[in-house]
Every structure is written in C-alpha cells, then in structure tokens.
Amino acid sequence: MFRITKVLNHNTVLAVKDKSTQEYLIVGKGIGFGKKVTQTVEMSPEYSLYAVSQTRDRGLAKDIVKSIEPEFLEIANTLLDEAEKEFGKIDRNILFSMADHIAFAVKRIKNNEQISNPLNDDIRVLFYKEYKIAEKVRPILKEKINIDVIDDEIGYITLHIHTSIDDSKVSDAMQMAQAVRTCAQFIEEKIGITIDVTTMAYNRLMNHIRSMVARAVTGEMLKVDLNRFIEQNYPDSFSLAKEICMKLGHELKHGFSENEVGYLAVHIEQIKCDEMLGEE
C-alpha cells in the first residue's frame, strides 16, 4: 500500500510505501485521477514504480521530477514499456534521465534550436531495435505537443534506451558509435570509397566493431587465430585492419588482442568486394 505525497497529473503520483519515508514515482493510467495527498493506492501490474532517491547524470531523480512536466515521465515510461516487450528485463531506472532528455529536446525544438548528431546513421545501424523503439516517440509528441522530432533527436533517445538493456552509460554508447564511425571513415580514406551504410556488409562490419570494442573493454580474447591465413590471402585488408586496431586502441585506451586483426580484415575485404561488385 502506498500513501500519496503529491499528485503530478492523472497518470503520475509521488508516494511513500506504508510508514517509510522512501518516496516513489508511480506511473499508471488514471492512478492520480481524483486522488488527493494522504490518500492510498495499491500497486497494480499495469503500474510502474520508480525510486526517486537515486542520483542520475543530471542530478537527483527527485529534482528532475520537479523540473519537468509529468507528461515527459509518462512518455519515457511508455518507451520503456516497449523496450521491455522487446528485450525482456531492463533497467527502468533510466526513466528520469530519458524523460529529462525528451523534455529538453522538446524545448529546443520549440525554440527552433537545431541539434546535430553526426553519429545518427551509425546509431541507427548499431542499435537497430532500440532505434525502432525510440521512433515511437514521434506520434506521441505529435499528438500531445504537436511537434515533429528530427532523426538526430531519435538517435540520442536511442542511446538512452540502449543503456537500459546494456547496463552502461549514454556516454559509453556514444563512444561505441564514435569508434565505429572512426573505423568506417578510416576505411573510406584508405580505400578511396564511400561506404554504403545500407549494405549487409557494413551492418556486419559495425556489429563486429561493436563486439570487438566490448571484448577489449572486458579483456575477452578470441580463441581462433585467422591472422596467418588472412595476411597471406588478403594482405591489404590485413594491413588496414592492423592500422585500425592500433588507432582505435589508442583512442579508446584499450588494447586489442592480435587475433582481432584477422577477423576485422575479413569484414574489410567484404566491404571492398561489395564495392567492386557495385562498379560492375
């Protein structure tokens, strides 16, 4: 049983559990309708419960709740519901930082302040399922506030959703996307092509780099060594892969195992083959 301490709107309230002082945000359709402070509510499977004592990147969750309109908490909760349907168990505690971001994004749009996200194409491919969920904010904001959300904003919301399933920070997800972009640009410069980001080869390359960076961070080692075979058969791709591993290792401050070179070279070779086929 929860006792209401503040009604934010029809669908969101602040409440404490029983006689404790721990305050929670409860989000659910109609939970605040006709309710007053000190009245009690019972939790339902349709309601979502969030502790407001936690500290987020932009401060205390309780302060975020006070600083934004409750409808943004509802919107973030809706996106997390969708993420939970897609991925199963997630960390719903990102609600506050995501709601804060959406509120700030709406403010920017209303003020005609354009935000740039140069990594948006990479984010869309890297975190495809998360991006699809983030796009669900478009019709919601159109209906509730009558604004159109640009793709670059969707990319940033995607990163928040990703952190709910990956137990990481938004900055970590952004670093991952930046690593992929750096790699792609390096390949383009060295080979003298513009990589088509819609191809399956590019998708596989990006997901491989994503896994490669994750292994470097955790210290996981690839057990199979393809280096000798790849270096003999695809020396140019192998040399380029070696350069990329050194470059990314320096930027990310995480060294890559030698076995990573051969696997990365395979994906680079596939990109080159696709480019040659496209010219025929």
> Which CATH number fits the domain 171-279, given the four candidates 1.10.1790.10, 3.40.50.150, 3.40.50.720, 3.40.640.10?
1.10.1790.10
Per-residue DSSP letter, 92: G
pLDDT tens-digit map of 227-262: 999 999 999 999 999 999 998 888 777 788 889 999
Chain CA centroid to CA 276, Å: 34
Q: SS3 of 9, please?
A: strand
Per-residue DSSP letter, 223: S
With beta carbons less than 8 A apart as the criterion, state whether 261 and 242 touch.
Answer: yes
pTM of the model: 0.81
Question: Do 171-279 and 1-53 fall under one CATH topology?
Answer: no
Q: What does the domain layout of the chain look like in residue ranges? A: 1-53, 171-279
pLDDT tens-digit map of 133-186: 999 999 999 999 999 999 999 999 999 999 998 777 888 888 888 888 888 888
With beta carbons less than 8 A apart as the criterion, state whether 7 and 30 touch.
Answer: no
Question: Which class is 1-53 in CATH?
Answer: mainly beta
